[in-house]
Amino acid sequence: MNRNFYLLIVIVLECSSAIFSGCAVMSSSILETAETVEPGRVVLGISGGIGIDLASPVFFQKNTINGEHNLVILPTMEYKIGVGVANNYEVNAKYWSTPSNFGLLFYLKHQLPPLGENTFIAVLPGVCFTYSFPDSSTRYKYPDITALGFNLPMVVSHRFNKLFSVYGVGRYGIDGVHVTENDFLDFQGTYVLNRAGLLAGVSLEPGPVYIRLEIGLEGAKRVNGGYGYYPIVNVGIGLEL
């Protein structure tokens, strides 16, 4: 076995350990069509997927493994509540966590005039916060990471019937990320993370329940120049009350 294979195994093991120690995972999900709920209606949702770790080498290092950028993506579990507040307007909150960090996202969903028959468009501006609390009981110093940022997704969806629709998303985000002294990254201090991504999803809506699956790709500006890329995969289920 070559050296790159052993290096890959080390990174996988470090990632498995880090989820209990000092990672700051950012949610990557949208799981929204462009349609809003009626005023007074409430939407509850739960979802799972993968999120990018803000301590990932994809942001800091230019080295590669077998031609691929080093990357740390970790599973997330997320919870959402949304409320229709006026015609074509929703306010929403999302919470996600791992054993070593949590995140919050507050966003407004505004449905714009439709693009055509059964084709809708919406913007979802929001602010997000992520905080990690590293495990101080280990002999390694994991980074303590705090991030505060702004998201601006745009969603276009097409409804085929009352049970099925598809959607696409373009998203831009900017975050101020602070990284404390640590044993893993060649960086400490504050940097600005610019990221943009494209997603596509399907929505099944039998009655008041929805089931959504989405995939995509997002890129982020590296601290030391260039760009890193990471996949997006999320699945969610929700209920409109």
DSSP string, 82-146: EEEEETTEEEEEEEEEETTEEEEEEEEEEEPSPSBTTEEEEE--EEEEEEE---TTSSS-PPPEE
Lowest mean pLDDT, pick from 5-9, 182-186, 223-227: 5-9
Residue 71 has pLDDT above 60, yes or no: yes
Q: What is the mean pLDDT of residues 223-236?
A: 83
Residue 160 has pLDDT above 80, yes or no: yes
Indicate the pTM of the whole model. 0.82
In whole angstroms, what is the distance from residue 128 CA to residue 148 CA? 6
In whole angstroms, what is the distance from residue 205 CA to residue 28 CA? 22
Looking at residue 57, its pLDDT comes to 62
DSSP state of 224: T
Looking at residue 115, its pLDDT comes to 94
Query: Which residues, listed in sequence order, are joined to residue 202 by a DSSP beta bridge?
Result: 166, 213
pLDDT band at 136; cut points 50, 70, 90:
low
The string of pLDDT tens digits covering residues 7-48 is 443 344 344 434 434 467 788 899 999 999 999 999 999 998
Structure tokens at 124: 């979802």
Identify whether the C-beta of residue 210 lies closer than 8 Å to the C-beta of residue 228. Answer: no
DSSP string, 143-183: PPEEEEEEEEEEEEEEEEETTEEEEEEEEEEEEEEEE---S
Counting the structural domains of the chain, the total is 1
Looking at per-residue pLDDT, the higher value among 205 and 145 belongs to 205
Looking at residue 140, its pLDDT comes to 58
Residue 51 has pLDDT above 50, yes or no: yes
Give the whole-number percent of the chain exceeding pLDDT 90. 50
- For the chain, the average pLDDT equals 82
Q: What is the mean pLDDT of residues 114-134?
A: 91
In whole angstroms, what is the distance from residue 5 CA to residue 2 CA? 6
The string of pLDDT tens digits covering residues 231-241 is 899 999 999 99
Lowest mean pLDDT, pick from 8-22, 83-97, 127-141: 8-22
Residue 3 has pLDDT above 50, yes or no: no
CATH code, 131: 2.40.160.20
Identify whether the C-beta of residue 237 lies closer than 8 Å to the C-beta of residue 218. Answer: no
Q: Residue 77 is part of which domain span?
A: 3-240
